[in-house]
Amino acid sequence: MDIIYRYDPFAPIEMPKIPDVASAMSRLVEGNDRFVEIVTQMQARTLGQHKGEPMVIPVNPVTLGLPLFEGVMPTQAPFAAIVGCADARVPTEAIFDESFNSLFVLRIAGNVLGTEGIGSLHYALANLGESLRTVMILGHAKCGAVTAAVDAYLSPEAYVDIASTHGLRTIVDGIQIAVRGAARALTIHGGSQIESSPDYRSLLVATSVYVNAAVSALELQREFNGFVEHAPAVNFSVYDFESLRIQCLPTDGESVNVSRYLPAPNSADDLFQYASDVAKAFLTLDEEALDRNCRLTVKL
């Protein structure tokens, strides 16, 4: 199988037009769809089912964010700021099929926003406003930081090691609001007996991942609203290792017709409504889909 990034020096260079938030979000979703297509074709090839057609992706210096001429430095012009996790399996540019100069990326374990992260985004808003159209929080399934936060919630004795390390504690504490919201939603919709289920830990991790992305989005939207008069809308989503897609609710792998991203919740009530939607979605999956969504070891 060939994936060809083709540079034609004689092809007219078209400047990407990203006029508004909707266009920026469409570009992110379309980029993620291309990534899914590339990986799907690669997997089909591995199974001997590939059609044999090369995949050709046209590129030019502008779309790559590279200087057109020697010694000319490109202007920094990202169309989106993404706050993702530091997890090495979720490289931001790769999963959106983007390259140089497209994304202003912050990666922090558990996509928890601390002072420096918020300051970096304030910088982006203040200095990159000509190109920047949207800000997105991106969580991901099977997140180690969220798993540590869930373990600290379920087994307080496990928290001792974390509590003695200021940096780690800051991350795990920052995720607790999501874990508590996810736990409450699961108990309300699954009954209190769910807490003694052998799958409860992994179910709580899986639910907390989605809620944690929403919590970070809510916090950031509030920060922005206090910082600028016409603050950009903050969206959030979750990268799923099985489907390779960004999505806002768990799926059974067949019906992928769920929102690819959502706006930040407006209030604590909105946030809990979302946590309830995620919990209900997990609790209505069949056993196989639930296992695929919740198992903590990723099959690679």
Report the interface residues with Zn ion, using CB under 5 A.
Answer: 85, 87, 143, 145
Q: What single string gives the DSSP state of each residue in 231-269?
A: PPPEEEEEE-TTT--EESS---SS---S-S-EEPPSSHH
State which residue, 145 or 246, has the beta carbon closest to Zn ion: 145
Minimum distance from residue 9 beta carbon to Zn ion (Å): 40
Q: What's phi and psi for 178, nearest 5 deg?
A: -70, -45
Whole-angstrom distance between the N-terminal and C-terminal Cα of the chain?
20
Minimum distance from residue 189 beta carbon to Zn ion (Å): 25
* Biggest CA pair distance of the chain: 66
State which residue, 145 or 185, has the beta carbon closest to Zn ion: 145
- Both tokens of residue 157? 């004795």
Question: CB neighbours (10 Å) of residue 10?
Answer: 4
Minimum distance from residue 182 beta carbon to Zn ion (Å): 15
State which residue, 139 or 181, has the beta carbon closest to Zn ion: 139
Q: Select from 86, 190, 94, 65 the least CA-distant residue to 143.
A: 86
Minimum distance from residue 239 beta carbon to Zn ion (Å): 10
State which residue, 145 or 278, has the beta carbon closest to Zn ion: 145
Residues 23 and 13: their CA atoms lie apart, in Å, by 19
Minimum distance from residue 197 beta carbon to Zn ion (Å): 24
State which residue, 28 or 209, has the beta carbon closest to Zn ion: 209
- Both tokens of residue 266? 């407006």
Minimum distance from residue 168 beta carbon to Zn ion (Å): 13
State which residue, 87 or 219, has the beta carbon closest to Zn ion: 87
Residues 243 and 101: their CA atoms lie apart, in Å, by 27
- The three-state secondary structure class of 84 is strand
